[in-house]
Amino acid sequence: MNNLQFLEDKIAELKEQGVYRQLPVNTGPCANVIYLKGQEIVNLSSNNYLGFANHPRLIQAAKAATDKYGAGAGSVRTIVGNQDLLEELENLLALFKQEEAVTCFQSGFNCNLGTIPAITEAGDLIVSDEKNHASIIDGTRLSKAERTIYRHNDMDDLERILKEKRSQYRNVLIITDGVFSMDGDLAKLPNIVALAKKYQALTYVDDAHGSGVLGRSGRGTVDHFHLHGQVDFIIGTLSKAIGVVGGYVASKQIVKDWLLHRARTLLFSTALPPAAIGATIESVKMLMESETYTQKLWENARYFKKALGNLGFDLGHSETPITPVMVGKESLTMELSRGLLAEGVFVSGIVFPTVPAGQGRLRVMLSASHTKANLDFAIAAFAKVGKKLRIIN
Ligand SMILES: *Cc1c(COP(=O)(O)O)cnc(C)c1O
């Protein structure tokens, strides 16, 4: 008897639905081009917004940190895994974010999983945007607080919930992405902060796609909206624009004191490796030195969006370098993705259940690492395949 038959059945079902996939294998670094099956392909799908993932300065810093501190942290932070390099990174990030303190985790996902249950408990209410990231949903599930969702970016709906429920709970925590990853739109942060004040709620912004992208030198969505000191928990990732791996909470010192005692992903999972910490410190220093990286990112994003818009593609309502190319039907979405790959351009198709049924799209991620030649090459491929599939005229 095959006791894994239940998985055989589930996989067969995925294949029937046409959503079973094999992972692409890149045989080189994550950069403006990648190598799939020996072929050079223009990469329009990474979160490597600033081109830092393969930057010589980060590589050098990773090597230097490894030479001095070794390959692994050897323990969780609360035992002997708390190397001074990690403290240096947290202090630098706090300075960069203009917040009192920063607490680092091993990833953005881990950060939400550890932080949300640590700062909420039975008798509290979590109010979450319906389009929030999976790690927020899972972090919320691990909390003993009650939870409810408001319609995406709908401030009337958020206020309705606060008005109706505020008095029944001790703490109410409003959670939102800063930048929504599938559409590239921004949270209405000034309104959320105002509502939080009016109803005495706490605010939690996961700025994974805003870090290194929005605000002065990529200081994030809170900086973009001039809301320093008014958001209680600002989450960032070190895995996207920053180019390495890790996540963090920027907050008041008292929040850090508490997380160091109660965030379970920090207490029970080994600290970041020295190479990652060293590279991240370099990355933050580069952002603090110069705006050239973020400026190049936005310049590339504007150039590409304008060209695709002119070709007649529907680009949704993105306000950031995340550029959804709306297609609609799931099968047509995947056909466009395959057609572009045949032309030497990688853009992953995003379909149900990641986005609602009938809202299939390609999600183009621009980067400062793209050359104008890369972008023109990709634009020509979009024109050719888009016409062939009659997505544009
Ligand atoms: C990508 C993302 C994460 C996860 O970050 P990692 O560092 O890759 O684990 C968390 N939250 C949001 C909103 C994200 O977009």
Our measurement of the distance from residue 78's CA atom to the centroid of its chain's CA atoms, rounded to an integer in Å, reads 27
* Whether 55 is catalytic: no
End-to-end CA distance of the chain: 55
CA of 135 to the centre of ligand 1 (A): 7
Burial of residue 28, with CB atoms counted within 10 A of its CB: 0-12 exposed, 13-18 middle, 19 or more buried: exposed
CA of 131 to the centre of ligand 1 (A): 13
**Helical (H) or strand (E) element with 234:** strand 233-237
In this structure, the residue with its CA closest to atom 2 of ligand 1 is 208
DSSP-assigned states of every residue in 112-170: HHHHHHHH--TT-EEEEETT--HHHHHHHHTSSSEEEEE-TT-HHHHHHHHHHHGGG-S
- Identify the CA nearest to 181 among candidates 116, 225, 127, 137: 137
Asked whether the beta carbons of 358 and 225 are under 8 A apart, the reply is: no
CA of 138 to the centre of ligand 1 (A): 12
pLDDT at 344: 98
| Residue 136 backbone dihedrals phi, psi, to 5 degrees | -75, -45
pLDDT at 385: 98
Residue 232 Ramachandran class (φ > 0 left, ψ -120 to 50 alpha, else beta)? alpha
Residue 206 Ramachandran class (φ > 0 left, ψ -120 to 50 alpha, else beta)? beta
| Residue 232 backbone dihedrals phi, psi, to 5 degrees | -75, -40
Q: What is the 3-state secondary structure (H, E, C) of 184-204?
A: CCECCHHHHHHHHHHCCCEEE
CA of 269 to the centre of ligand 1 (A): 18
Tell me the pTM: 0.96
Asked whether the beta carbons of 70 and 274 are under 8 A apart, the reply is: yes
Which residues have CB under 6 Å of ligand 1?
Answer: 107-109, 112, 133, 135, 177, 181, 206, 208-209, 237, 239, 247
Q: Hey, what are 60's tokens? A: 């050098």
Radius of gyration of the chain (CA): 22
CA of 35 to the centre of ligand 1 (A): 25
> Which of the residues 55, 97, 131, 209 is marked catalytic?
209
DSSP state of 23: P
CA of 104 to the centre of ligand 1 (A): 14
pLDDT at 21: 84
Q: What is the C-alpha separation between 324 and 315, in angstroms, rounded?
A: 5
Sequence-distant (6+) residues with CB within 8 A of 221 are 178, 179, 186, 187, 189, 205, 207, 210, 214, 215
Can you give the pLDDT of all 393 residues of the chain as single tens digits?
789 999 999 999 989 987 788 899 999 999 999 999 999 999 999 999 999 999 999 999 999 999 999 999 999 999 999 999 999 999 999 999 999 999 999 999 999 999 999 999 999 999 999 999 999 999 999 999 999 999 999 999 999 999 999 999 999 999 999 999 999 999 999 999 999 999 999 999 999 999 999 999 999 999 999 999 999 999 999 999 999 999 999 999 999 999 999 999 999 999 999 999 999 999 999 999 999 999 999 999 999 999 999 999 999 999 999 999 999 999 999 999 999 999 999 999 998 888 888 999 999 999 999 999 999 999 999 999 999 999 999
Q: Closest ligand 1 atom, CA of 47?
A: 1
* Whether 240 is catalytic: yes
Place of tokens 């203009």: 98
pLDDT at 17: 80
In this structure, the residue with its CA closest to atom 3 of ligand 1 is 108
Our measurement of the distance from residue 180's CA atom to the centroid of its chain's CA atoms, rounded to an integer in Å, reads 8
Bridge partners, residue 30, by sequence: none
Residue of 110, 132, 179, 239 to mutate, ligand 1, most atoms within 8 A of C-beta: 239
> Which of the residues 240, 256, 296, 305 is marked catalytic?
240
> Which of the residues 135, 143, 181, 369 is marked catalytic?
181
pLDDT at 19: 76
| Residue 167 backbone dihedrals phi, psi, to 5 degrees | -70, -15
**Helical (H) or strand (E) element with 361:** strand 360-365
Asked whether the beta carbons of 53 and 46 are under 8 A apart, the reply is: yes
Residue of 30, 133, 176 to mutate, ligand 1, most atoms within 8 A of C-beta: 133
* Whether 107 is catalytic: no
Q: What is the C-alpha separation between 255 and 263, in angstroms, rounded?
A: 11
